[in-house]
Structure 1
């Protein structure tokens, strides 16, 4: 099956799973072209410099998926199928239902290339040409130590995203709705979910919580989320700590749907998630030291208005890989550089053929088999 044929088979899947952020055929073509230069580079040798090159995809991919969001696993599998690889999925129990639903939507010819594993399999792991791992940094380190030297290894570890509004003084209802959209989608569980909102202006900190509380209340009324006991305990603990420290607090009582806390800390500290958003006043001269704990772990920065060059440079130096408008944090574009990487590139190796003409297709098949 050629790359173009796989694209045709995968295109209908994109409309069934809009969370992927890939609209269909054209986005898939752009994704593969951005990684390979041209669509047919996986199918045979293509011109390269004074000779010819061919992209070689892993015959077998072993995916270690996280238990937080299904969309990361769906995207990883989609990319493996786009390359034509066999895909073995080590899938946490809490995400198996979502992954089964995704696999059932695949056309039969591609469904044959997918197997969901009940647990870690040493034999399957060892047999794979490439390993993709999602999870905590400890998980990434564990699987890295298990890899052979000749296995490709691609990891997506712990990342933190945040909102930066800088010196903004007059928050609009449009802006507030964008903040709420970023916060509530996926219940603040993903690497693109904002953990805090950074402001420089005391006046904005006084105005913003009331507006946020109003929109969050309406969102909770329309789309309530049932809380598991462990989630409820974390939310109540965050509120208790805020009260004990005298931090201003807005919340919805026993609904446990949202919490806003204005805090004053010398450095960043993470949220417990589940729509517990911290509003932090951080003067620009202290922003570098305040963000220091996030060095190497920053992912997306949601911004409103102009971002000063000095602030931009600070974000990049700390490892941030995406800057986007408020309200779009959870919907990156198809060609998004996840953790700063071009999609698919790290799963490909190249073979060069030197000479005036490329080898014939039968000869190529014999050489690469």
Structure 2
């Protein structure tokens, strides 16, 4: 039986006690080991990582940091790399996600952090990446330097493997030390990423401390929140809102809670020559990580007038989801989640029942404009809930776990008023329309609070540099210091040979 440490600490840092838990994999049982933490331990980790940061990372150029991260990520492009093999073996066993899907998605995700992607990201977000290193000329005629936090406290979520890598990378680019609280539901990826950095540059890895503890352990969280200069929290809205009031005013707090994604499918994407691929891509968006990502769709609006109707689209999507289930079986939901899915099915069936009319011979006849449910042959593996118009849609959200709303609209713009009550929850919108309609539709959708528009089939694959929840990844963490225009010229007057 092998033992895997699900924590990372700077070199020389010693934990006194450990606990373990077993995970059953297809290769036998694996023991996960993690330290027993006290407020004093967390305090020591904060002080150690901050001290290491001042001695090393603070002096690194941002380009050097990019090089280190890029080299670490290149390790993950090798299928034989030990960290990748551990991830591909253990993460499906811990999370319940399909092993093949996890392998494919992790491979795609890690490639977002290659050197060329990070350089593109920095150039997109900052007027000059070297402002993270030194004072650089700004457009007002002066100079600007950007300073990141000395220490950032991260609360990682477990819904999608790999997300902590994004958060850690953003902090490292601002030259911040990191104390990360990982989740027992997926504690591996942040630790494996830290180990990759150790292989390339141990000094940089010494500014990282990744340790798991149970959510809501206030005495540990309060120490980390108090010591950190910035806090980044992922998780449910309950999790992020519980942390918010404990972060002092003026300290950056970035929270990424639950969100709702949706799709807009135009009639041109449902032509005889396009509808098969469109429906397949819709199914990929729904099936990937079982909609647990905040990027995933929960409702799909389908425009009438294509070669296939919205109702036929729902039927074809159900067939595609069944294929996805055979290819990438869904993880096992909790009893509460299964109950929520069955309740959503029943509510839609009841709507259809109320719209049923009785013929003169007392035979029940379903209204062709009534909602309907298409469900998986086995349990709650997948569910398609069809609604003939926006007024019959009970909610933009679903119980997830491959449960999707399909809503018919005469024109895509008719879907937009439905979004208004969900403004604070919206994030990603996938669009399948012709280029002649794309930008006008994007202009309208953007007014409803979303922050990302992407192709159908790529909702769960955000590109490097996207503005998460509409904010900035680096600019929201740093503070700017300006040397105002003419300050340098005034300083010149004190030179001995100034004329």
- TM-score when scaled to structure 1? 0.87
2:185 counterpart SS class: helix
Matching residue within 260, 282, 289 for 2:384: 260
Q: 1:91 to 1:85 in 2, by over 3 A?
A: same
Deviations 1:133-183 (A, max 9, x none): 223334333322112223112222332110111445536111111111111
Q: Aligned partners of 2:237, 2:378: CA distance in 1, in Å?
A: 34
Partner of 2:257: 157
Give the count of matched residue pairs.
359
Give 1:318-357 correspondences, 5 Å limit. 318-354=448-484, 355-356=487-488
2:488 counterpart SS class: coil
Partner of 1:68: 159
1:281 counterpart SS class: strand
Q: 1:172 to 1:129 in 2, by over 3 A?
A: same
Give 1:84-103 correspondences, 5 Å limit. 84-103=175-194
Q: 1:338 to 1:21 in 2, by over 3 A?
A: farther
Matching residue within 229, 233, 238 for 1:129: 229
Give 1:185-200 correspondences, 5 Å limit. 185-200=288-303
Give 1:309-324 correspondences, 5 Å limit. 311-324=441-454
Does residue 5 (structure 1) correspond to residue 56 (structure 2)? The answer is no
Query: What's the CA shift for 1:266?
Result: 5.1
8 Å contact kept, 1:267–1:291: no
Q: Aligned partners of 1:263, 1:162: CA distance in 2, in Å?
A: 15
Q: 1:29 to 1:308 in 2, by over 3 A?
A: closer
Query: What's the CA shift for 1:9?
Result: 1.0
2:396 counterpart SS class: coil
Does residue 113 (structure 1) correspond to residue 202 (structure 2)? The answer is no
Q: Aligned partners of 1:30, 1:69: CA distance in 2, in Å?
A: 24
Deviations 1:5-43 (A, max 9, x none): 111110134352532561511111122233332232222
Q: Aligned partners of 2:235, 2:334: CA distance in 1, in Å?
A: 23
Partner of 1:366: none
Moved more, 186-195 or 62-71: 62-71
Give 1:269-308 correspondences, 5 Å limit. 269-284=396-411, 286-306=414-434, 307=437
Partner of 1:14: 73
Mind listing any 5+ residue stretches in structure 2 that lack a counterpart? 1-59, 77-105, 214-219, 353-370, 492-499
Partner of 1:181: 284
Q: Aligned partners of 2:406, 2:134: CA distance in 1, in Å?
A: 54
Partner of 1:218: 323
Matching residue within 29, 36, 39 for 2:129: 39
Whose RCO is larger (CA < 8 A, sep 6+)? 1
2:288 counterpart SS class: helix
Moved more, 226-235 or 87-96: 226-235
Moved more, 43-52 or 164-173: 164-173
Matching residue within 148, 170, 195 for 1:104: 195
1:295 counterpart SS class: helix
Q: 1:358 to 1:71 in 2, by over 3 A?
A: farther
1:61 counterpart SS class: strand
Deviations 1:52-89 (A, max 9, x none): 22110111001122232233322111111222211111
8 Å contact kept, 1:268–1:290: no
Partner of 1:365: none
Mind listing any 5+ residue stretches in structure 1 that lack a counterpart? 360-369
8 Å contact kept, 2:69–2:113: no
- TM-score when scaled to structure 2? 0.66
Query: What's the CA shift for 1:117?
Result: 3.6
8 Å contact kept, 2:333–2:401: no
Partner of 1:367: none
Partner of 2:14: none
Query: What's the CA shift for 1:310?
Result: 6.5
Matching residue within 191, 213, 237 for 2:343: 237
Q: Aligned partners of 1:250, 1:40: CA distance in 2, in Å?
A: 55
Which protein has the larger Cα radius of gyration, Structure 1 or Structure 2? 2
8 Å contact kept, 2:144–2:481: yes
1:93 counterpart SS class: coil
Q: Aligned partners of 1:121, 1:266: CA distance in 2, in Å?
A: 40
Partner of 1:172: 275
Q: 1:241 to 1:358 in 2, by over 3 A?
A: farther
Partner of 2:39: none
